[in-house]
Chains A and B, each alone.
Chain A
Amino acid sequence: MNGAEQVAIEARKQDIRSRWILSAPALIIIFVAAIGPLFVMLLYSFLVKGDYGDVKPWEFSLDGWTSVFFQRDIFDDTLGLADAHISIIWRSIQLSFFTTILTLILGFPTAYFIATRPPHTREIWVFLVTIPFWTNLLIRTFAMQQVIRNEGLLNNALIWLGIIKSPLQIIYTDTANLLGMTYVYLPLMVLPLYASIEKLDFRLVEAGYDLYATRFQVLRKIVIPLVKPGIIAGSILVFIPSLGAYVIPRVLGGGKNMMLGNLIEMQFGAGRNWPLGAAMSITLMILVMVALIVYVRNASRGGSGHV
């Protein structure tokens, strides 16, 4: 090894060292106020709950974890399934799934329409999707609440049109959760879909028509397979926040139609069972991880599958 090489290696080492120092503030802040607390929460999920909330330090137990899915019978102390918890977790998964489907049904045609406009009008359409996206989530939820209330815009319009006689009870139902989440998360579906449809090579579509494909066949056999990565990206961007929704079910679902986020909050409030709440939070994180892994596997397959 000659001297010049030695100097270059030394300079490179120095450069990497200064890069670590430069990124230290961001990494430390995120460790202290985001990642570190997750590890503390993992520890808490294995501790014994305190009598008035919090935990008893260094008394370990698996109760937090078992009570995510099971409960002890008050009479004979046998373990049974915790139906309430399971039904809330299952509801969260179902609602998130249907939200994803609904946003896809509305979002795909919208993204496709925007992507096929002339370039300068396209920008305006995209901007119009971005505005609600950056509007405070609470304000959008609140706006939805005002529309679907019993004396709200929707019911008043339906009564005025003579379609119904008395207001429909939408608010404080699962339908309200579904409508609210679809409304709030719709831009998250449109934007990635738009990005991938915009890159679509329409010569392939033209080739399809040349071979006498119908419009539906072109859509199903050419467009959808080519923009699949966008569809998956949009779906994951909608599914994940839906699963962890907290504000929307709290405002629109009322007490009876809780989702997992509200169930977690309850353990830290009235439930006073922090280990259980911690275990539920980690369960939610695992569900999100599973969704992300499905996404990554599909995305890598979709990337090499065509062209």
Chain B
Amino acid sequence: MFRSRFDIKSQPGFGFITLFTFFALYLPIGALVVYSFNDAESLSQWGGFSGRWFVAAWQNSAVQDAAIRSLIIALWAASLATIAALMAALATTRTAPYRGQTLKYAMINQPLMVPEIVTAVALLIVFSRIKVWTGYSGLGYLVLAHTAFCIPFAYLPIRARLESMDLTLERAAADLYASRWQTFRHVTLPLLRPAVIAGFMLAFVISLDDVVITEFVKSGGQDTLPTYMLGQLRRETTPEINAIATVFLALSTVLVVIFFFINRKKQ
């Protein structure tokens, strides 16, 4: 009788610590969101419920510019990274090991191994030189830098999908005299679509979130939303910054939820 009630899996206090962990994880974010609806001028007091800081942020031209710039960079970087990662994934999976394959893995994952601040200053050194030589100081540098660190994130889900996909359908296509391109276009790519979308979305969120590399690579007047916020934090902040953060938070949460369901349907 005793045995049946004795739960071998439980450990004393673990449930309590878990509750505390989730409380600690969500309390600060929750408070941030609540205070974005604060009517008062400062974060020190609660002045009643209001949406005015959202309106203020929406009408702030610096915020508008930064938001649009963030989206442009993230769209470019995520698209380029997904295409490059898709090609690289096709090139590194479903084959007997060949010389250089490990080198490719190491290179593709390199941006994950080096601290961001190190990459950031290294890019500052190189790009500041190139900016002087060429006279070009547009968004290209940011797109290039973002594409590089987005590639491993786009690569991971695509590679995982390719490795678990069986070759039967593609062999069948080849038996029916489809060319390699036709096989890829009409068989492989449709099968890969969920993974490609997932990879693109991961890359998009990663690019949108980046602060450190952007802060060092950007030229004057090229603030993205995160670097704009970082600049504002040095001053006495108003709930406007909370409003921006809340919208940002909502956007990335929606993307993650979609990502979660795409992945779940696949299984």
| Chain B residues positioned under 8 Å from A285 (CB to CB) | 114-115, 118
Q: Is the CB of B118 within 8 A of A36?
A: no
| Chain A residues positioned under 8 Å from B25 (CB to CB) | 128-129, 132, 183, 186-187
Instruction: Say whether A41 faces chain B, with CB atoms less than 8 Å apart.
Output: yes
How many A-B residue pairs lie within 8 Å, measured between CB atoms? Answer: 240
Contacts A116-B9, A246-B212; A134 near B252 (Cβ below 8 A): yes
| Chain A residues positioned under 8 Å from B122 (CB to CB) | 37-38, 40-41, 281
Which residues in window 257-307 of A have CB below 8 A to B?
261, 264-265, 268, 274, 277-278, 281-282, 284-285, 288, 292
Q: Is the CB of B28 within 8 A of A41?
A: no
Choose from A26, A113, A131, A274 the contact partner of B18 (Cβ within 8 Å).
A113
Which stretch in B29-37, B50-58, B165-173, B190-198 binds the other chain?
B29-37
Q: Is the CB of B126 within 8 A of A109?
A: no
Contacts A138-B226, A247-B211; A29 near B115 (Cβ below 8 A): no
| Chain B residues positioned under 8 Å from A107 (CB to CB) | 21
Which residues in window 4-58 of A have CB below 8 A to B?
15-16, 18-20, 22-23, 25-27, 29-38, 40-41, 44, 54
B119-141 CB mask vs A (1 if < 8 Å, else 0) is: 10111111010000000000000
Q: Is the CB of A134 within 8 A of B256?
A: yes
Instruction: Say whether B65 faces chain A, with CB atoms less than 8 Å apart.
Output: no
Contacts A22-B90, A139-B245; A37 near B28 (Cβ below 8 A): no
Contacts A139-B32, A243-B115, A251-B233; A130 near B260 (Cβ below 8 A): yes
CA distance A114 to B108 in the complex (A): 32
Instruction: Say whether B71 faces chain A, with CB atoms less than 8 Å apart.
Output: no
Instruction: Say whether B253 faces chain A, with CB atoms less than 8 Å apart.
Output: yes
Residue of A with least CB distance to B87 = A22
Q: Is the CB of A135 within 8 A of B21?
A: no
Contacts A22-B87, A40-B125, A113-B14; A142 near B241 (Cβ below 8 A): yes
Chain B interface main SS type: helix
Q: Is the CB of A268 within 8 A of B124?
A: yes
| Chain A residues positioned under 8 Å from B85 (CB to CB) | 26
Instruction: Say whether B151 faces chain A, with CB atoms less than 8 Å apart.
Output: yes
Q: Is the CB of A146 within 8 A of B32?
A: yes
Q: Is the CB of A109 within 8 A of B11?
A: yes
| Chain B residues positioned under 8 Å from A25 (CB to CB) | 83-84, 87-88
| Chain B residues positioned under 8 Å from A292 (CB to CB) | 113
Choose from B12, B35, B90, B107 the contact partner of A146 (Cβ within 8 Å).
B35
Choose from A32, A34, A44, A250 the contact partner of B114 (Cβ within 8 Å).
A34
Minimum CB–CB distance from B128 to chain A (whole Å) comes to 7
Residue of B with least CB distance to A39 = B122
Minimum CB–CB distance from B159 to chain A (whole Å) comes to 11
Minimum CB–CB distance from B63 to chain A (whole Å) comes to 15
Contacts A132-B29, A139-B32; A109 near B13 (Cβ below 8 A): yes
Q: Is the CB of B26 within 8 A of A132?
A: yes
Minimum CB–CB distance from A92 to chain B (whole Å) comes to 11
Which residues in window 83-108 of B have CB below 8 A to A?
83-85, 87-88, 90-92, 95, 98-100, 104, 107-108
Which residues in window 111-127 of A have CB below 8 A to B?
112-114, 116, 127
Q: Is the CB of A109 within 8 A of B121?
A: no
Instruction: Say whether B44 faces chain A, with CB atoms less than 8 Å apart.
Output: yes
Q: Is the CB of B8 within 8 A of A147?
A: no
Q: Is the CB of B115 within 8 A of A240?
A: yes
Instruction: Say whether A144 faces chain B, with CB atoms less than 8 Å apart.
Output: yes
| Chain A residues positioned under 8 Å from B18 (CB to CB) | 109-110, 113-114
CA distance A37 to B113 in the complex (A): 15
Residue of A with least CB distance to B114 = A285
| Chain B residues positioned under 8 Å from A16 (CB to CB) | 98-99
Residue of A with least CB distance to B145 = A33
Instruction: Say whether A137 faces chain B, with CB atoms less than 8 Å apart.
Output: yes
| Chain A residues positioned under 8 Å from B28 (CB to CB) | 140, 143-144, 146-147, 183
| Chain B residues positioned under 8 Å from A23 (CB to CB) | 87-88, 91-92, 104
CA distance A275 to B53 in the complex (A): 44
| Chain B residues positioned under 8 Å from A18 (CB to CB) | 91
Contacts A23-B88, A33-B123; A247 near B212 (Cβ below 8 A): yes
| Chain B residues positioned under 8 Å from A277 (CB to CB) | 121
Q: Is the CB of A33 within 8 A of B114?
A: no
Instruction: Say whether A86 faces chain B, with CB atoms less than 8 Å apart.
Output: no
Instruction: Say whether A253 faces chain B, with CB atoms less than 8 Å apart.
Output: no
| Chain A residues positioned under 8 Å from B99 (CB to CB) | 16
Minimum CB–CB distance from A47 to chain B (whole Å) comes to 10
| Chain B residues positioned under 8 Å from A264 (CB to CB) | 117-118, 121
- Across the A-B interface, give the 5 residue pairs with the lowest CB-CB distance, nearest first: A244-B115, A143-B28, A37-B122, A33-B148, A22-B91
